[in-house]
Amino acid sequence: MTLLFGIATILLLGIGAQWLAWKLRLPSILLLLLAGFVAGPATGLIGPDMLQGDWVNPFVSLSIGIILFEGGLSLRLSELRDVGPSVRNLITAGVLTTWLLAAAAAYVILGFNPALALLTGAILTVTGPTVVVPLLRQVRPKGRVSAIAKWEGITIDPIGAVLAVLVMEVILLIHEPGASAGVSTAALHVAEGLLTEIVVSSVIAGVSVVLLVVTLRRRLVPDFLRNPVTLTLVVLAFVIAESLQHEAGLLTTTLMGAVLANQSYVSVQRIVEFKENLQVLLIGALFIILSARLDLSALQYLDATTLAFLAVLIVLVRPAAVFVSSLGTDMGWREGAFLSWLAPRGIVAAAVASLFAYQLRDIFPEQVGALVPVVFIVIFGTVAVYGLTAAPLARWLGLANPNPQGVLFIGATGWVRDLARSIQAFGHNVFLIDDNAERVRRAEAEGLPARRADALSESILDDLDLSGSGEIDLGGIGRLLITIPNQEVGALAALHFSEVFDSSDIYQLPASSSTLRPTEGQMPEYLQGRPLFGEDILYDDLTERFDRGEKLRVVELSTAINFDTLKEVYGDQFVPLFLSRGDELKIFAENNPWTPRPGDQLLILVDPAAETPSVLDSATSLLDEYTAPPADVAEEG
């Protein structure tokens, strides 16, 4: 029962810490590390005997390999058109600069042996998707900087791990009993190891992807086995690569994900969704396990010396690495400044440090005990510093909008365009997608950004980028409104776009009342977006009301004219749609947790014949009526 209780505790703490971090808007790794430390050495809730078994290191390595595969699935080669030179420099010259400067700091500040200092520097070159991607999701930087940071964070994991392994192997070679390895021998060993790493990883990744693509394309497995087969193949590739060359598994799975994401023979959307869910579980379990393995004696290293080392990494090493990497590229100073403040260390650094400390216990018996605590302090410190300050810095640099209020519309009929222009008038970004060329042309003629596209196509998700760096610029867009009459297509679109938007920000206008209260054979509610404008407002009803001449009006609420007053003036027929409060745009839907108050601007749909001008003249303004294109152009239905 002890082992079962420990497993359940790890899963509970992993998911609970990530949920609490989401609720408090904090970096999840902070709470994961704290939860693991409290559950492990602080309280003994997770017994130390459970975390010291032979299963831990293989589980950690394999989990990281799966996480890197999921990260590779998000790498699109099209992004490298603009950011390729910057990414290349960051994972080459940037890694080299970080390694040497961090090693020098470990030698001078921490007093490490030169060999141990070089190993520490190599370990700390790694950032990784487990910490970078969540921070990017929280900060939401605009433009190219998001793609640069994502590519660096994902590709630097295997590169840094390989570097650390090579340094480790050289140390073991030099200190092998009776060995007389010189510089040339060590250099040759490094070159051989690096070449073997690349060849093994490339061959196994290539064969695995070809095998998977052929299997899926020829439908050799049913749909319900696609994800299990993919996961099994990833695990097999990782294990084979690791058996041939240590740490080649990480590079193999990363290459597999990247190649699979950029081929056009089979869809990987379901695989991506499955791996994202798996990643959440693995990240939570990994950080809980590794931090719970620490000993209370690790707190003795939380002193001025280690904090000075941490400060040097943040204010000197990272900016120097970014500066060197920016030479010869078109990276702007704002992008460079933001990237200089984004180098959180993650799970690979923790795992590699834990493994190497055990292997070096006989070579550096007096100093190796400090390796793991120092690395964990760096992980916690960098995540805390960057996680709490990166968003304000990005806003100050003009590179982020952490709380986007804009709206993406699926559908661009006449009254939908009127809504979009109204939101524009409030000062928020809008974008419209429709598969009808004429409606898109009319939207563009009215000054609305629009794109002809199938909302269910695979390419649309590749083109979309909430940071504003994709082919479709969605900078400032934070909500999705599905305003089409086909309920089934709308529900599929809600599922399709759930990779881009949180479910709480996806709204769908019901086509009929039966779709809201489904009976046998009809679509269940959980497969649809949130009911837009309330559960009683239907697509056909709104279309009919606009057709018979009802208008959009903006009312500024006051103590004299409040929400109840509007109900008295217009009766129960008026429909509240949007509310503008300062920089916020609120959408009327089911279960609204807010109430209109004085000073708010309210966008409503009303019948002008029901108005009482004497009451509303001072507070109501009629929006500009929709200006139709030339009469010779008919809008298709």
pLDDT digits (tens, 9 = 90+) for 328-378: 888 888 889 999 998 888 778 888 887 787 778 778 777 888 888 899 899
Give the range among 109-123, 244-258, 480-494, 602-616 with minimum mean pLDDT: 602-616
pLDDT at 591: 67
- Euclidean distance between CA atoms 11 and 604, whole angstroms: 47
Please state, as a whole number, how many other Cβ atoms lie within 10 Å of the Cβ of residue 513.
11
- Euclidean distance between CA atoms 558 and 551, whole angstroms: 21
Domain-embedded: residue 117:
yes
Give yes or no for a contact between 463 and 470, defined as CB atoms under 8 angstroms apart. yes
Read off the DSSP letter of residue 403: S
Looking at 377, 396, 415, the residue that finishes a domain is: 396
Q: Which range has the top average pLDDT, 188-202, 313-327, 461-475, 618-632?
A: 313-327
Q: Classify residue 551 as exposed, middle or buried by CB count within 10 Å of its CB (0-12, 13-18, 19+).
A: middle
The alpha carbon torsion through 529, 132, 357, 115 (nearest 10 deg) reads: 170
pLDDT at 627: 38
102 and 225 belong to one structural domain = yes
Q: Which range has the top average pLDDT, 9-23, 141-155, 260-274?
A: 9-23
CATH, residue 446: 3.40.50.720
Domain-embedded: residue 629:
no
Instruction: Please determine, for residue 543, whether its predicted confidence score (pLDDT) is greater than 90.
Output: no
Segment 588-632, tens digit of pLDDT:
777 665 677 777 787 887 777 665 554 444 444 433 343 334 434
354 and 463 belong to one structural domain = no
95 and 242 belong to one structural domain = yes
Give yes or no for a contact between 418 and 572, defined as CB atoms under 8 angstroms apart. no
Give yes or no for a contact between 455 and 410, defined as CB atoms under 8 angstroms apart. yes
543 and 609 belong to one structural domain = yes
pLDDT at 626: 36
Which is more confident, 61 or 496? Answer: 61
| Percentage of residues in the chain having pLDDT higher than 70 | 81
pLDDT at 237: 93
Q: Are strands 620-622 and 551-556 parallel, antiparallel or unpaired?
A: antiparallel
Domain-embedded: residue 380:
yes
Instruction: Please determine, for residue 465, whether its predicted confidence score (pLDDT) is greater than 80.
Output: no
pLDDT at 94: 93
- Euclidean distance between CA atoms 21 and 473, whole angstroms: 29
Q: Which range has the top average pLDDT, 31-40, 41-50, 537-546?
A: 31-40
Domain-embedded: residue 349:
yes
SS3 content of the chain, % helix, strand, coil (to 5): 60, 10, 30
Q: Which range has the top average pLDDT, 153-157, 189-193, 268-272?
A: 153-157
For the chain, the domain total comes to 2
pLDDT at 486: 79
Q: What is the pTM of this model?
A: 0.70
Read off the DSSP letter of residue 36: H
* 231-234 contact pairs (CB < 8 A, 24+): 231/66, 231/274, 231/275, 231/278, 233/208, 234/65, 234/66, 234/69, 234/208
pLDDT at 407: 83
* Tokens at 178, concatenated: 């009776």
Instruction: Please determine, for residue 69, whether its predicted confidence score (pLDDT) is greater than 80.
Output: yes
Instruction: Please determine, for residue 634, whether its predicted confidence score (pLDDT) is greater than 70.
Output: no
pLDDT at 430: 85
pLDDT at 95: 92
Confidence tier at 325 by pLDDT (50, 70, 90): very high
When pLDDT is averaged across residues 230-237 and rounded to a whole number, the result is 90
Looking at 367, 396, 425, the residue that finishes a domain is: 396
pLDDT at 449: 85
324 and 429 belong to one structural domain = no
Confidence tier at 462 by pLDDT (50, 70, 90): low
Q: Are strands 464-465 and 430-434 parallel, antiparallel or unpaired?
A: unpaired
366 and 431 belong to one structural domain = no
Q: What is the mean pLDDT of the chain?
A: 78
Give the range among 400-409, 436-445, 617-626 with minimum mean pLDDT: 617-626
Instruction: Please determine, for residue 63, whether its predicted confidence score (pLDDT) is greater than 50.
Output: yes
- Euclidean distance between CA atoms 617 and 553, whole angstroms: 12
Which is more confident, 102 or 5? Answer: 102
Identify the domain containing residue 163 by its residue range.
51-396
Instruction: Please determine, for residue 556, whether its predicted confidence score (pLDDT) is greater than 70.
Output: yes
158 and 295 belong to one structural domain = yes
Domain-embedded: residue 630:
no
Strand partners, 473: 465
Give the range among 118-132, 161-175, 614-628 with minimum mean pLDDT: 614-628
- Euclidean distance between CA atoms 162 and 125, whole angstroms: 11
139 and 259 belong to one structural domain = yes
pLDDT at 610: 61
Domain-embedded: residue 240:
yes
376 and 491 belong to one structural domain = no
When pLDDT is averaged across residues 287-312 and rounded to a whole number, the result is 86
CATH, residue 245: 1.20.1530.20
pLDDT at 501: 76
Segment 563-582, tens digit of pLDDT:
777 766 666 677 788 888 77
Confidence tier at 323 by pLDDT (50, 70, 90): very high
Which residue's structure tokens are 């964990």? 376
Segment 247-290, tens digit of pLDDT:
788 888 888 888 888 887 887 766 766 666 677 788 888 888 87
126 and 244 belong to one structural domain = yes
Domain-embedded: residue 14:
no
| Rg of the chain over all Cα atoms, to the nearest angstrom | 28
Give the range among 56-65, 217-226, 427-436, 593-602 with minimum mean pLDDT: 593-602
pLDDT at 636: 46
472 and 351 belong to one structural domain = no
Domain-embedded: residue 20:
no
Looking at 374, 396, 418, the residue that finishes a domain is: 396
471 and 369 belong to one structural domain = no
